């Protein structure tokens, strides 16, 4: 696909959302002009049907991700197209849900939870989208090492092993530094909220003891200390990767399970509307 075509496609989502939101706004204006704006009337049912269709389409993105082979065999659109539909269609879904409910929290239990979960799902999706845009840039901006999330425990173990080897037979002050501070730090990958605001994780402050100790050691121990510092610095970077990549993975727990519950509640709601 050409770059120009890709650029054009990038606008399809926002344009579709703008067109849908304009259509919804126009429908609302006509509704307010010629009829009541109350849940339950035919206008409101229309908004509800449109919202349901959009939610199902948005949920189709998740299904497609789990059926890549089938999707590619059926040629059911590109992944980016489905993602755009998921994002912008999800936004429009919330607009239609609000119109369906008359911009009020419904008083029924199922309908009330549907309303709350609609907000939650769309807002958590928005948070996820922002994280996906921001974290890769943050990772690329201040880190020299790029690691796969799944390999982090293995790499941390490797660093710890090499650090332990480096302090073997070193000066007692180096050993003390290892035992009191670094052994625990290198024991396992560690998440720190600090990385969201300082990608170095306060490295300058943490590495101060190395600067201080370096002046007191003999040449041989100074090299061991330098190796230890390099490994610790690598660990800090891996921790940054671990923290930020965890955020990229864990926001899904805020979004996906609630989306599934939302779909189940929608099914209950549709049953209630159909049956009663």
Partner 1 sequence: MAKRRRSGLKGSFGEPRLPVARSYPPQASRRRMVVLGAAVAAVVVAAVAWDRLAGGSELISGGPLSSSHAVFAGDCGHCHDARSRSASDRQCAVCHEKAGDGLGIHTFAAHYLYRSDDFRRVVPSEHETPCSGCHGEHRGRDAAITRVDSGACRACHFADFGAGHPEFDFAAEAIPDSGALRFPHTHHLREVMKREQLADPERACLYCHQATADGRNFQPLDFDRHCDACHLDAATATPGLPLAGATDGPGVLDLEQLAADGGPGLRWVYFSNPAELRRRGSLVVKAPVHHRDPWVLENLRRLRRRLYPDAGLADLLRVSADAPPHAVRELYLEAVATLEEQAEGLRGRPEPEVQQQLAAIRQLVAEARRRIEQPLAPLDETSFLLALDRRDPALPAAEAAAIERLGGELTEPCRRCHLVRDLTIVRVETDQRQLRRAEFDHRAHVVQRRCLDCHDVIPMRQFLESGEPVPAELDRSEIQNLPTIATCRECHEPRQAADRCVTCHRFHPDRGQRAELLPYTREAP
Binding site for partner 1 (CB under 8 A): 32-36, 38-43, 66, 106-111, 144-151, 154-155, 158-159, 230-231, 233-234, 249, 252-253, 256-261, 263-265, 267-268, 271-272, 275-276
Instruction: Supply the minimum distance, in Å, between the C-beta of residue 5 and partner 1.
Output: 30
Q: 64 vs 233, which CB is nearer to partner 1? A: 233
**Residue 191: HSE in the Cβ half-sphere, 13 Å Cα cutoff:** 10
Phi, psi of 125 (to 5 degrees): -65, -40
Q: 16 vs 46, which CB is nearer to partner 1? A: 46
User: For residue 163, which of 233, 214, 215 has the smallest C-alpha distance?
Assistant: 233
Q: 173 vs 227, which CB is nearer to partner 1? A: 227
Instruction: Supply the minimum distance, in Å, between the C-beta of residue 40 and partner 1.
Output: 4
* CA 200 from centre of chain: 21
Instruction: Supply the minimum distance, in Å, between the C-beta of residue 86 and partner 1.
Output: 16
As a whole number of angstroms, the distance between CA 271 and CA 265 comes to 10
User: For residue 133, which of 5, 16, 247, 11 has the smallest C-alpha distance?
Assistant: 247
CB distance 251 to 131 below 8 Å:
yes
Q: 14 vs 257, which CB is nearer to partner 1? A: 257
Instruction: Supply the minimum distance, in Å, between the C-beta of residue 248 and partner 1.
Output: 12
């Amino acid at each position: 696909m050409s770059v120009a075509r890709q650029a054009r496609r990038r606008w399809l989502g926002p344009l579709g959302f703008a067109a849908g939101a304009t259509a919804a706004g126009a429908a609302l204006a006509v509704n307010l002009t010629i009829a009541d704006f109350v849940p339950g009337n035919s206008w409101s049912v229309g908004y509800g049907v449109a919202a349901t269709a959009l939610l199902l389409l948005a949920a189709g993105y998740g299904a497609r991700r789990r059926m890549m082979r089938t999707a590619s065999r059926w040629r059911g659109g590109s992944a980016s197209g489905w993602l755009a539909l998921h994002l912008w269609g999800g936004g429009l879904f919330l607009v239609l849900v609000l119109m369906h409910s008359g911009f009020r929290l419904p008083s029924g239990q199922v309908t009330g939870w549907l309303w709350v979960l609609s907000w939650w799902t769309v807002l958590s999706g928005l948070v996820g989208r922002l994280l996906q845009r921001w974290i890769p840039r943050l990772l690329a901006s201040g880190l020299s090492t790029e690691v796969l999330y799944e390999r982090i425990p293995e790499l941390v173990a490797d660093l710890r092993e090499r650090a332990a080897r480096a302090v073997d037979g070193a000066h007692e002050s180096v050993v003390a530094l290892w035992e009191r501070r670094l052994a625990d730090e290198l024991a396992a990958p560690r998440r720190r909220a600090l990385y969201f605001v300082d990608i170095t994780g306060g490295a300058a402050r943490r590495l101060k003891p190395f600067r201080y100790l370096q002046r007191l050691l003999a040449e041989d121990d100074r090299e061991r200390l330098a190796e230890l510092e390099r490994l610790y610095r690598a660990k800090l970077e891996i921790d940054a990767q671990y923290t930020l990549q965890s955020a990229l993975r864990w926001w899904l727990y805020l979004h996906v399970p609630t989306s599934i519950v939302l779909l189940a509640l929608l099914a209950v709601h549709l049953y209630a509307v159909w049956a009663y």
